[in-house]
Each structure stands twice: as structure tokens, then as C-alpha cells.
Structure 1
Amino acid sequence: MDKYVLGIDLGTSAVKIILVNQSGKIVSEAYHEYPLIQSQSGFSEQNPEDWISAVYSGIQTVLKKVTIKPEAIEGLSFSGQMHGLVLLDTVNTVLRPAILWNDTRTTKQSQEILQKMRDFISITKNKPLEGFTLPKILWVKENEPETFAKVKTILLPKDYVRFRMTGVLNIDYSDAAGTVMMDVEKHQWSHAICDLFGIPMNILPPLINASDEVGTITKETAVLTGLSPKVRVFAGGADNACGAIGAGIINENEAMCSIGTSGIILTYEKGMRDYHGDIHFFNHALNNAYYSMGVTLSAGYSLSWFKRNFGKTLTMEEFVTLAEKSPVGANRLLFTPYLIGERTPYADSNIRGSFIGLDAMQTEGDFIRAVLEGIVFSLKDILSVYMCYQKSIETIVSIGGGAKSKLWLQMQADIFNRRIITLKTENGPSYGAAMIAAVGLHWFNNFKECFDQFIQVGDIYFPQKENVDKYNEYYGLYQEVYKDTRSLSEKLLEIERIPR
């Protein structure tokens, strides 16, 4: 009998579930959406019960598409959106909607954390940005004290789903690191942080490895999903960590470039490395390893925004193809993709995007190419930070929307001046979650063996020297735009704040 695993990726807008066999082939998949709650500006929340409904429905959909016995599915694991705050009471009932990673209400709390604790970054290896979990907890403590008084346990999104499916409370190291309450080097919750900010240690769940088995699903879960009650459940990890596994990033000189709504450059770290908060540094879903990453907030979002406003009648493929008519440098047009602020390397929520070098001779294709180039320039900013810390990256695996266009892939090779690799089958975090289950079940002795079986390289793009030289000149100008427009962005925002 063939054997299978499920990979469950709990995203921000939907859950993606895939069924994978022992050779790494996806034999069935499902995608179920759930709503976002935005009650006021800066707030971003979800009802955890919506996650449960979507996951259970998704598993049912996956099973309906295949004719296999439930017993053939031996295990499952999770990937999940990072940093989200789920609060449970003494009987494990959700106390309030979950506060998500893209919620920005916590600027005050984020600033206070660094003011009160100078060695914070040395413990967590990260700045306490608004998106992370600790500022959210402090916001609830300050603004909803009656709710905070009832808190018995905090969980992150995928850990709550796993709890509902198994009845077991815990959190893996890769997601725990994203709370910025953990001592990343010591692999334990930080007593110093919790004591200083008045967070009881007993509300923090036990820490486990991503590939650790937490048990089997409950009988109720089996009935509601159609799975066998004997299916073994493995902890899983943060979505970016699982995405790196799904892309086969296991060497320190390799990186993953993921262009989705946001853009990410992520690389494997075998041991500790101190980036002083300039780059995110987290515990990995791979045991006793780490990963680091930089984020540009409006990568694919910039392109979809531009198409939504100026290319409504075209498909995305047709829209991007228009950029092929434009030369390197888009006829002297630069675009900075700071539509909702920026994270790496600037961590500036006030900066806004711009087109620089507008010319009456420029065409639609020039604007589209400028947007594509600007997104890659913003990702090169992250590589530049790595270079400042003598981190050598030779090969980049490109996934997401940026891997769907040959033009964009060659652009990455030329701007990064690195070899760019694509994958034949790319399913990101859900595939990484399935691989965690496969290794947990001992289908393979280690992740390297799993990578060799599951991951196949697609096309390879090499930098073209003439383009590299031109892009280096344009990138030098691109780097000047932030500092030259920063004060203008702040003044524009200030105009809107002035009462009339």
C-alpha cells in the first residue's frame, strides 16, 4: 500500500493543504479561504474558529479527490503564519480574535520595549517590530486588562490548530523565536524578558522541535476530517522556515528569494551569527539550526497594485510581457516599492514609494519594467546587508511570483549578480510541512535524503555581464532615493494628520 503525508499551511488569507506520496509527488490539494477582520485602521485580526473550519473542510476536499484508504495517510504537519497572538483561558477557550502579524497597532509598545531593555536584541537577535508577538501581548495587557487577567496560555496560529486536532499544547522553536520572547541561542523562553514586562512564564507553552511527534489526532478530529485516528502529528514550523525546507535551502551559501505579497531573501545558518537586528535571525524548523532573512514589504504587492490600476484588461502574464519592450534601466526610470513602508534595511513605516526620472518619451512597458526592477533592487538591499556582515551567498533559489516570468528571473540574476535556480515543483511552506512529516515518520534518515527525493531543480539563469554593469549604476542611484525622499514622505503624511 502506498503511503502519504499531509502538509497544512495556515496562511494569512487561506489554508493550503497538500497530500504527498513517498516519492514527493502531490496527488491532491485544496485551498480554503477565511476572512480578515479589520475593525479600524492598523488592526488586523482573525477568528481562530475560521481556521479550524477551513482546515477540516480542506482535508475533506483533499480526501474526496483521491481513492485511497484513510489509513494510507500516515502523518501530517503544519506551516503557519508567524507572530499571530492567540489567547486561551483556563479551559482553553479563545478569549478574543487573534491579532495577526500584519497588525500595526503596537508602535508604542515596540518603542517601549527597547527603551526599557537595552540588551533585548542580544537575547532575541531581533528588533521588537510591531508585527511580532511580544508587543501584541503588551498591547492587550495595557488596553484589555480584563482579558489579559484571564489568559492561561498563549499560542501562535498553527499551534492552535494543532492543539484543536490533538489536544496537546506546545510551540516549535521556529515560531517561538518569532514571538521575541525566546533566548534564541539558549533555545528557551527568556526569564529576563518575561520578568521585566510582567508576563507569567506559565502562560508560555512547552518548546519542541518542528519534527517532534506530538501524538495522534483526537477521535473527534478523525470524524470531522475523515482521517484515521492513528495519523501521527508532527509539530511543524513557521511559514518562512517551512518555505526554506520546501525550496531545499540547506547550505549556508544558498538563499531563497520569495516574491509574494512581500519579498524575502532567506538563508540557512548552521550556527549563531549576530546581525544586531539588521536582519531577522530565527531558530529553524531544522533541528539545531537557524535561518536569517530580510523582508521588503511591498514586492508582488507593488506589481499587483500597478496592474490593478493600469492594466485591468490584461492577464498578469500579458502585463509583465509588456516590460520586455523596455531596456535595462527602463529608459532611465526608477521605482521604489515602499507603498506601505519598508522593513529591511530601513524599518520605516512612514516612507512611501516613488517613480524617479519621469520622461515624456517613456511608455507603459517602461513603467512596468521599472516596477519589476525596483522590487528586485529592494531585495538586493537585503543582500547588501548580508555583504556588510561578510555573509557569502552564491546561489539563489527563486520561488513565488518572481519565478513565473523568464524576464523577471533573468533580471534577478543580473541585479543580484548571482546564479538563479528555479524548481520543477514549487509548493512552498505546505511542501516543507509535508517534508517535516515525512522525516518525522522516518521515511528518510534526515532532511538531506528527503531533499534529494522531493526537490528537483528546474531552469538555471546566469548573470549577463553587460546587464550586471548597467544595473550596478542604476542600483547606486536607487540607494539614494530613500534618503532623498524620507523627509518628503513624512511631511506628506503629516499634512493628513493636521486637523482642518
Structure 2
Amino acid sequence: MSDALYLAIDVGTGSVRAALVDRTGRPIAIRAFEHEQIVPEYGWSEQRPADWWAGVTRAIRTVLDDAPDAARRIAAVCGCGQMHGTVLLDANGQLTRDTVPLWNDKRTMGHVAAFERRFGLDEFIAESGNPPAPPWPGFKLQWIRDNDPEAYRRAAAVLMPKDYVNYRLTGEITMDRTEAACSFMMNPRTGDWSQSMCDRLGLDRDKLTTIRDPAEVLGVVSAEAARETGLRAGTPVLVGGGDYPVALLGSGVCRPGLGSDVTGTSCIITVVADKPLLAPEISNVGTPEGNWGAFILLETGGDAMRWARRAFHENGWSYEAIAAKAAEAQAGAQRLFFMPYLVGERFGEHRNARAQFFGITAEHGLAHLHRAVLEGVAFGATRHLHLMEDISGRKVERVVASSGGAKSELWLKIKASAYNIPILLPAEPECGVIGAAALAATAEGRFSSVEDAATAFVRHEREILPDPAWAETYARMQPFFEKLYRHSQALYDDLDRL
């Protein structure tokens, strides 16, 4: 039908959003409702699945009022959601725990450390596709097994947040490959659960449900869900995917040779590859179109500018004023380097890394310091980009930038010049919504592939080209940044002992 719509649902950490997207890939209405994040202890982070469902029903009912006859016009529903939140259902489909640990919950750090002491990376990385880390559901299941054994014993199925919403919509239970790939329990070669990883973790493989592709139709809206949401019973519902990989699709990053720069508090550099890139610093997520998103997280991205604003100006300057000050300095900040490790590193051998300025002389002033901070994040991200290029054996052709860092013209120009690669900016910031709509349109049969749907739906408003003079300066500085990075590592443990 020519007036058909797609309903995209995004179960975020801070809110649930529902969006109506037309057949050209344009959102025509978006509604969002916040939900609570529970912090019972320092480092813990939980939410109630019941709150997600309450937000979903409210968001859907509200957004349906924003377009005439919307429920009848919806051709398919597709959801994405915050990743790694570990939901347990019993054999009757009831929650075994009222709250679930989220992606940013750190209670599993002890389990991760114990795993690392017991197993060397070479023993398991080909089976897991990832180095060990606190967010992965495999470690969350270990914690629940050890600290809430009754909930673990009763569990018959393990789901992620958007999977729980799908279950409430359709009564069907599954997990998609984007989520399973980051569980620390899926073999990336087979695309199925790894018995050897479950054995290493001491987990029951029978609790893990089937793994399906995001663009598959999972089921249809049940009569009960129709009454709760206002949707038409029988409306197709897709398997969907994790918010991060679906947003990659919705930004147009869905083919090998394309990269993504998502700079918020942190800076996540992702490179699309046809197979996982296995290394201690690199994580791998399955992508909706069937490729792999190899990514490295620089813990300090936008947070570097936030730190500089606080440290140098006691929050009295705007970010725009700081960028304007940085622009007064020449590229390279007169050989001043900033190592952007204010909160250490997520992976690798030196998670206790520190930030530093190196090369300060009497000629340097505030403009140089601010520019060095922006350039330091760019050098750190470039290091990650080059590492993934070296392992994959393929150069990245384009990078798509999104999130808060995509709002700073100077920072984008610095990064494009450091990467020496053009940076594209999506015209529509709601990349997760666009990605979900592209999946729905593919499932409807309008496109022969998810990539074709993304090509039709994703629009880029402009391209940031490298400045040739800046690129030459940064190309000379990058090897020194790498050398400083390596040589500084010898000091971190000594500094800790002080």
C-alpha cells in the first residue's frame, strides 16, 4: 500500500522511543518516554523490564495518534535496543528477576578478572569473537548464577531488552545475531552458541535460545498486545537487533570499507569487515546485513573536552568558545601532544593508562592546550583505525560521524585530516530509527537486501574533506603519538604504586 508506514521501536537506556517512518525512510513522528535507571550499589546499573514494556505501550499509543489511520497503515514493526541487558524468563514466560543488569553495570569485574587469570586470549578468542569485558551477558549470567541461584535455576530462556519487548508483542522468544555475537558465548564462525565457551564460563547452554537474523519476521502482534498498544493484531514483527549495529545500518555503514566514528562521552571507531578482527583491543559485533563491525572504544572522547572545560575554565566557557579558542592555534599545536586516557582504557594490557600533555614549552598557551586535546582524541582514534585496517588488510574509504562529536566543525576537520579520509554526516540523526525501518522495508520485500534498503533510506547532508596541510602535519605527528603511547606504558604501574 502506497501510504504504508513502518513502526520503529528503540528501547534505550534512558527512554523508550517509538517512531513512524514513511516509505522513503523519513520519520514523520517520534515519541519518547523516560524510564528509571536503578543503582542499588556503586558500579551497579539495573532496570525493570516491566518499565520497558510500559514505556513501549505508551510510546506506541501516543505515536499512533500522530498520523491518520496509523495502525492500519503499519506494514511491519522492527525494534532495536540497548545491548547486553540480561533478561531471564522461566518456562511460563515469566521473569525470574524483576530487574536486570545493564550494559554499563560493573558488578561482573571480578568474574572477568577470574576468567582472564584462568584462560589465555589465544585459548578462546576464536570461539568468542571478543576479549573478555564486564558488559558481556556471559559474565552477567555467571554473576546471577553465583548471587541469585534460584533465578538462574528457574531460567529457561535468556533474552536481551528488545527481545523481551518482542516477546511481549508476539509471544515468540529468540535472540538476533548482533546481540548473540557480543554475548561472549557465540562462535563467530558457526553463528551458533559455543559449547566450549559455555563450559569455560560454567553456564548451561540449554538456557540459550535460537539465534536469528535481524531482518527475519519473528511473528505477529498478538491480540493481547494489540489491546495494550493499539496496534493491529496480525501486524508482522521483525527479530530486530541491538541499537548500536542497527544505528550503524541507519547511518549507511553497512559494507566492508566503511567506518563509523561515534563520539559522545567516549569515541567508538567501527570498521565493517566480512569477518571478525581478532585482537586483544578489538571487539566484534554482528551487523544486521551479515557482516561484522569491528570496534575499539576510546574511553575519553567528548569527555576530553568536558574535562578541559572544567579544568581550565571551571565550566564557565561554552564548548563553542573552547573550539573557537582551539582554532586560534595552528594544526599540530606547535608539537604539543595530549594523550587522551583520562579514565584509562577498556581493553588491552594497560587499562590503568593515564592522560598527559607532552612537549609543553614557554611558547604554548591556552589555544594550544585546547587544540592539543582535540587532536589527541583524533590521534587516539586514528591509532585504532590503523590497527583495524592492518588486521583486515583493507583501507577504510569513508567514515560516517554521529553523536555529539559530529556537531563540532573544527573537530570534524581535525579528525578527517588525521584519518586522511572524508567524513560524512547523516542528514537524519535518528540512525537507529532509520536502520530499523530499513530492516522492516527489506522484510516487506521492497528491497532485495538490507544494504539496498539502507542506500535508499540513508541520506548524508554533507562531506568533511581532509585539509591537505593539516593531514601532512598529522601524518608526521602520528608515529610520535604511537611511540609516546608505547613508552608511557612502562610508567603506569609505577605511578599506581605511588
With structure 2 as the length reference, what TM-score do the two structures score? 0.91
- Match of residue 458 from structure 2: 455
1:446 aligns with 2:449: yes
Q: Decide whether the 8 Å contact of 2:195 with 2:205 is kept in 1.
A: yes
- Match of residue 84 from structure 2: 83
**1:494 shift after superposition:** 5.5
> Residue 472 of structure 1 aligns to which amino acid in structure 2?
A
* SS, match of residue 258 in structure 1: strand
Q: How does 1:87-106 map to 2 (within 5 A)?
A: 87-91=88-92, 92-106=94-108
* Cα deviations by residue, 1:379-427 (Å, 9 ceiling, x for unpaired): 1121121233223212212222222222122111111111222222232
Range with greater deviation from structure 2 (428-437 or 177-186): 428-437
1:184 aligns with 2:185: no
Going from structure 1 to structure 2, the CA distance change for 1:301 and 1:236 (only over 3 Å counts) comes to farther
**1:488 shift after superposition:** 5.2
- Match of residue 27 from structure 2: 26
* Cα deviations by residue, 1:234-266 (Å, 9 ceiling, x for unpaired): 011122211221111233121111112322222
Q: Decide whether the 8 Å contact of 2:288 with 2:450 is kept in 1.
A: no
Range with greater deviation from structure 2 (298-307 or 203-212): 298-307
* SS, match of residue 418 in structure 1: coil
Q: How far, CA to CA, are the matches of 1:491 and 1:59 in structure 2? A: 55
- Match of residue 61 from structure 1: 62
Match of 1:225 among 214, 226, 229: 229
Q: How far, CA to CA, are the matches of 1:387 and 1:159 in structure 2? A: 33
Q: How far, CA to CA, are the matches of 2:80 and 2:306 in structure 1? A: 25
- Match of residue 333 from structure 2: 330
- Match of residue 129 from structure 2: 125
Match of 1:207 among 208, 211, 224: 211
Q: Structure 1 residue runs of 4+, over 6 Å off?
A: none
Q: How far, CA to CA, are the matches of 1:290 and 1:256 in structure 2? A: 13
- Match of residue 164 from structure 1: 168
Q: How far, CA to CA, are the matches of 1:331 and 1:349 in structure 2? A: 29
**1:363 shift after superposition:** 4.5
**1:29 shift after superposition:** 1.1
Match of 1:304 among 306, 318, 340: 306
Q: How far, CA to CA, are the matches of 1:438 and 1:224 in structure 2? A: 25
Q: How far, CA to CA, are the matches of 1:123 and 1:76 in structure 2? A: 33
> Residue 304 of structure 1 aligns to which amino acid in structure 2?
R
Q: How far, CA to CA, are the matches of 2:63 and 2:366 in structure 1? A: 42
Range with greater deviation from structure 2 (96-105 or 311-320): 311-320
1:433 aligns with 2:432: no
Match of 2:384 among 382, 385, 390: 382
Q: Decide whether the 8 Å contact of 1:249 with 1:256 is kept in 2.
A: yes
Q: How far, CA to CA, are the matches of 2:66 and 2:469 in structure 1? A: 50
* SS, match of residue 232 in structure 2: coil
Match of 2:297 among 295, 298, 314: 295
Q: What do you get for the CA RMSD once the two structures are aligned?
A: 2.5
* Cα deviations by residue, 1:467-490 (Å, 9 ceiling, x for unpaired): 122213333333344445446554
Q: Decide whether the 8 Å contact of 1:278 with 1:385 is kept in 2.
A: no
* Cα deviations by residue, 1:428-454 (Å, 9 ceiling, x for unpaired): 222211211111112222223312321
* Cα deviations by residue, 1:97-135 (Å, 9 ceiling, x for unpaired): 211222222233223334247531111221121221111
Q: How many residues align?
A: 492
Q: How far, CA to CA, are the matches of 2:339 and 2:55 in structure 1? A: 37
Q: How does 1:128-143 map to 2 (within 5 A)?
A: 128-143=132-147
> Residue 40 of structure 1 aligns to which amino acid in structure 2?
E
* SS, match of residue 399 in structure 2: strand
* Cα deviations by residue, 1:23-60 (Å, 9 ceiling, x for unpaired): 11110112332222222232222222222222222223
> Residue 290 of structure 1 aligns to which amino acid in structure 2?
W
* SS, match of residue 32 in structure 1: strand
**1:159 shift after superposition:** 1.1
Q: How does 1:468-483 map to 2 (within 5 A)?
A: 468-483=471-486
Q: How far, CA to CA, are the matches of 2:320 and 2:228 in structure 1? A: 40
> Residue 27 of structure 1 aligns to which amino acid in structure 2?
I
Going from structure 1 to structure 2, the CA distance change for 1:191 and 1:68 (only over 3 Å counts) comes to same
Q: Decide whether the 8 Å contact of 1:84 with 1:157 is kept in 2.
A: yes
- Match of residue 178 from structure 2: 174
Q: Decide whether the 8 Å contact of 1:17 with 1:29 is kept in 2.
A: yes
- Match of residue 498 from structure 1: none
Q: Decide whether the 8 Å contact of 1:311 with 1:319 is kept in 2.
A: no
* SS, match of residue 149 in structure 1: helix
- Match of residue 14 from structure 1: 15
Q: How far, CA to CA, are the matches of 2:369 and 2:13 in structure 1? A: 30
Range with greater deviation from structure 2 (414-423 or 34-43): 34-43
* Cα deviations by residue, 1:286-307 (Å, 9 ceiling, x for unpaired): 14x3222222122123333444
Q: Decide whether the 8 Å contact of 1:18 with 1:431 is kept in 2.
A: no
Range with greater deviation from structure 2 (448-457 or 274-283): 274-283
* SS, match of residue 138 in structure 2: helix
Identity of matched residues, %: 29
Q: Decide whether the 8 Å contact of 1:87 with 1:96 is kept in 2.
A: no
Going from structure 1 to structure 2, the CA distance change for 1:200 and 1:269 (only over 3 Å counts) comes to same
Going from structure 1 to structure 2, the CA distance change for 1:486 and 1:463 (only over 3 Å counts) comes to same
> Residue 13 of structure 1 aligns to which amino acid in structure 2?
G
- Match of residue 148 from structure 1: 152
Q: How far, CA to CA, are the matches of 1:50 and 1:311 in structure 2? A: 37
Going from structure 1 to structure 2, the CA distance change for 1:440 and 1:377 (only over 3 Å counts) comes to same
Going from structure 1 to structure 2, the CA distance change for 1:24 and 1:276 (only over 3 Å counts) comes to same
Q: How far, CA to CA, are the matches of 2:490 and 2:39 in structure 1? A: 29
1:422 aligns with 2:425: yes
Q: How far, CA to CA, are the matches of 1:223 and 1:319 in structure 2? A: 52
* SS, match of residue 18 in structure 1: strand
Q: Decide whether the 8 Å contact of 2:336 with 2:368 is kept in 1.
A: yes
Going from structure 1 to structure 2, the CA distance change for 1:284 and 1:334 (only over 3 Å counts) comes to same
Going from structure 1 to structure 2, the CA distance change for 1:337 and 1:50 (only over 3 Å counts) comes to farther
> Residue 469 of structure 2 aligns to which amino acid in structure 1?
E
- Match of residue 358 from structure 2: 356
Going from structure 1 to structure 2, the CA distance change for 1:21 and 1:225 (only over 3 Å counts) comes to same
